[in-house]
Amino acid sequence: MDLETTAAAVLATLPPQPTVNDLSDRTFGRITALMYETVGLSMNASKKSLLASRLAPRIQRLGLRGYDDYLALLLDEHEAAEFQMAVDLLTTNETYFFREPHHFELLEKELVGRRSRAPLSLWSAAASFGDEAYSTAMLLAELQKSGQIGSDWRILATDISHRVLLSAKQGIYPVDRLRHVSPERLKRHCLRGEGAAEGQVMVKDELRERVQFGQLNLCKPIGGIGPFDIVFLRNVLIYFDAETKRAVIDRVAATIKPGGILFMGTAEGRAHAESGLVPLIPGAFRKPMR
């Protein structure tokens, strides 16, 4: 039996893939309420088709009868891994190295302008697959080598998704994800794959060792980390409603040193006035000195 025939035979044993018509408003409401209460993910009624299409292949693969069965699985405290899988399916982790380059230009200007070799602490608060954290590490390693900052710097990278963190720790990426990295910088910090790994690159050990990864839910109280000179909180606030967004910004801002900078996604709006953060450029805010 060839591979195509085997695949067809396997598919024939699976239940039909559910559609949005199989997702009741009640079940949709319970799933979205669970996501909001647990991880702050806000999905209104207009997202029903999106939720249904994202979860349908997983429901079929598990051999479940439909969305009600999947909800029961998500509510089972012993199925934490499946809940995490659902979070991954319902959020978008697409990213790439040196996204929003004007932020990295400001970061470089800020660090060079310090004219100090004092320790530096940075936080990538929604790290996803690590592109942002490793981009920052590349920049800091180069500033260190040129003597513009000291050698005592560290980057903490956190995300709610255990799956993406495992991938981030490996530091292996399709080369297209580094399309904004110059050939010189790519050669300096990465190894190109050969043979079966052609088309991929791996971040070198000396850079990966500078980044500490950990799981963290931004919608819960933050403790035991910081204070930070620089925090990236980009491309995650889009998943939250206004109230949750304000609370997350306040929690994150509390971890920033006076005079430090918070970077947010340019398309995610402004930090609310009550946070006290002062706009610098689109998506960048300074925490005032006391």
Lowest mean pLDDT among 99-113, 182-196, 221-235, 259-273: 259-273
pLDDT at 12: 59
How many Cα neighbours within 13 Å face the side chain of 111? 28
Asked if 241 and 33 touch (Cβ cutoff 8 Å), the reply is no
* 176 is a catalytic site residue: no
Residue 194 is assigned to a ligand binding site: no
Mean pLDDT along residues 27-38:
94
**Burial of 179 per CB tally in 10 Å (0-12, 13-18, 19+):** exposed
Taking only the tens place, the pLDDT of each residue in 147-177 is 999 999 999 999 998 888 998 999 999 999 9
pLDDT reported for residue 40? 85
Q: What confidence tier does 80 reach under pLDDT thresholds 50, 70, 90? A: confident
- Residue 95 is labelled as binding a ligand: yes
Is 255 known to sit in a ligand binding site? no
Give residue limits of the domains in the chain: 3-90, 101-286
Catalytic annotation, pick one of 88, 115, 154, 159: 159
64-73, 75-84, 167-176, 204-213: segment of lowest average pLDDT? 75-84
E strands in 31-152: 120-124
Selected from 1.10.150.20, 1.10.155.10, 1.20.1250.20, 3.40.50.10310, the CATH number assigned to the domain covering 3-90 reads 1.10.155.10
**Rounded CA gap, 282 and 279, in Å?**
7
The reply to whether 217 sits in an annotated binding site is yes
Single out the catalytic residue among 22, 30, 54, 88.
54
Residue with tokens 């990864």: 213
Mean per-residue pLDDT, 131-158:
97
pLDDT (tens digit per residue) in 227-260? 999 999 998 998 899 999 999 999 999 999 999 9
Closest CA to 97 of 192, 175, 213: 175
Instruction: Decide if 159 is catalytic.
Output: yes
CATH of domain 101-286: 3.40.50.150
Q: Is 21 annotated as a binding residue?
A: no
* 11 has pLDDT over 80: no
pLDDT of residue 146: 95
- Predicted local distance difference test score (pLDDT) of residue 93: 64
pLDDT at 51: 96
pLDDT for 77 equals: 86
Which range has the worst mean pLDDT, 90-94, 99-103, 127-131, 251-255?
90-94
Q: Are 161 and 134 in contact (CB under 8 A)?
A: no
Residue 85 above 70 pLDDT? yes
pTM: 0.83
The reply, when asked if residue 131 is annotated as ligand binding, is: no
Cα gap 12→153, rounded to integer Å: 55
Q: What is the rounded average pLDDT for all residues in the chain?
A: 91
